[in-house]
Amino acid sequence: MKSEVVIIGGGIAGISLGARLAKDHQVTVLEAEIQPGYHSSGRSAAVYIEPYINETILDLTRASRDYHLGYGAVPTRALTVAGADDLVDLDAMMARWGGLCPDMQLVDPRILFEAVPIIRPEAVVAVACDPSAMMLDAHTLLEGFRRGLVAGGGRVISNARVDHIERGARWKISYRDQHIEADILVNAAGAWGDDVAQMAGVKAIGLQPLRRTALLVDPGLDFASWPLVHQAGGGLYFKPEAGLLMVSPADEHPSPPVDAQPEELDVAVAIDRFEKMTTVSVKKVYRTWAGLRTFLPARTPAVGFDRNAENFFWLVGHGGFGMQTSPALSELAATRLRRQETL
């Protein structure tokens, strides 16, 4: 008899783990919203960056690379741009990551001016090029995992906001006046991870959702082949997205777990920084959105059974790397679950 696993949260974390477990467990994913990926997973910039956060995230990202190439990822370059004000940040980035990512090199800024002709030359004093970056296809990625989950006999129930959890010999989980029992309860509720834990009588672990803003503009020339451009000081990035240019002020505003919405001020800051770095004058913003990137203090995810709550498995804290690490992180989580490993 396969053990029953209920996963709370139908974002990339919950769906990808469900896909990995479906072959040897009976898996049900409960998602509060009308469809999987409604929150952070449907709002990401969907880029793949190897020199990011720390060595753990680097390893998980690199271990995910080949999988992504089979699910719509397109290799690109990430160009990190420094002006006089943030040259020190570029130097710090090269000192931190240069040895771990030797393909990342300082390059002649003319490479940037040729690739992205809207850049103001006077705004740039140095450029680093990381040739290992990729543009991911978030929809194809999530849908690929969902199909794997269903093919393995698992199911995803949408419109199923869990509002009560009881612990007995098994877990009893309630949503919409319905109940489901499970041997193992997985908490993949993203920004709501601590709320779900408390509902189950489990101690919270200190998740902090941070709101990030994005907008789509038209720079007025053919940008389909442009790389990801990132300001060394961290206040701006932009990249081609859905036939337009996605611009983000790379903001991190502490937020409660909510359906995040963009603030006008953050949109204005993004436009101002974009106009200072480029020759574009933004006449029209085609779309704005915001999403939550949820971190633990160490900025590494929590993957494993709670030490004090039997059969309660954490898969949260995916921050700004949940898409790029999902293939390897879901494999790691499935292995830890099968081996009964704790946090």
Ligand X SMILES: Cc1cc2nc3c(=O)[nH]c(=O)nc-3n(C[C@H](O)[C@H](O)[C@H](O)COP(=O)(O)OP(=O)(O)OC[C@H]3O[C@@H](n4cnc5c(N)ncnc54)[C@H](O)[C@@H]3O)c2cc1C
Binding site for ligand X (CB under 6 A): 8-14, 30-33, 38-41, 43-47, 160-162, 188-192, 196, 212, 214, 291-293, 318-324
Question: 299 in helix, strand or coil?
Answer: coil
Measured CA to CA in angstroms, residue 255 lies from 74, 161, 191, 212, 258 at distances of: 32, 20, 9, 10, 8
- Minimal distance, residue 282 CB to ligand X, in Å: 19
208: exposed, middle or buried (Cβ count in 10 Å: 0-12, 13-18, 19+) = middle
Structure tokens at 160: 């199923």
- Which residue, 113 or 289, has its beta carbon nearer to ligand X? 289
* Side chain identity, residue 253: H
- Which residue, 43 or 336, has its beta carbon nearer to ligand X? 43
In the DSSP assignment, the letter for residue 2 is P
- Which residue, 128 or 228, has its beta carbon nearer to ligand X? 228
For residue 122, the Cα-to-chain-centroid distance in whole angstroms is 33
- Minimal distance, residue 308 CB to ligand X, in Å: 21
- Minimal distance, residue 312 CB to ligand X, in Å: 14
- Which residue, 83 or 330, has its beta carbon nearer to ligand X? 330
- Minimal distance, residue 285 CB to ligand X, in Å: 15
- Minimal distance, residue 198 CB to ligand X, in Å: 11
- Which residue, 46 or 118, has its beta carbon nearer to ligand X? 46
- Minimal distance, residue 175 CB to ligand X, in Å: 7
- Which residue, 53 or 280, has its beta carbon nearer to ligand X? 53
Question: What are the backbone dihedrals phi and psi of residue 141, each rounded to the nearest 5 degrees, phi first?
Answer: -65, -50
Query: Which strands, in side-by-side order, build the sheet including 4-8?
Result: 155-157, 26-30, 4-8, 184-187, 312-316, 302-305
CA-wise closest residue to 204 among 299, 330, 308, 339: 308
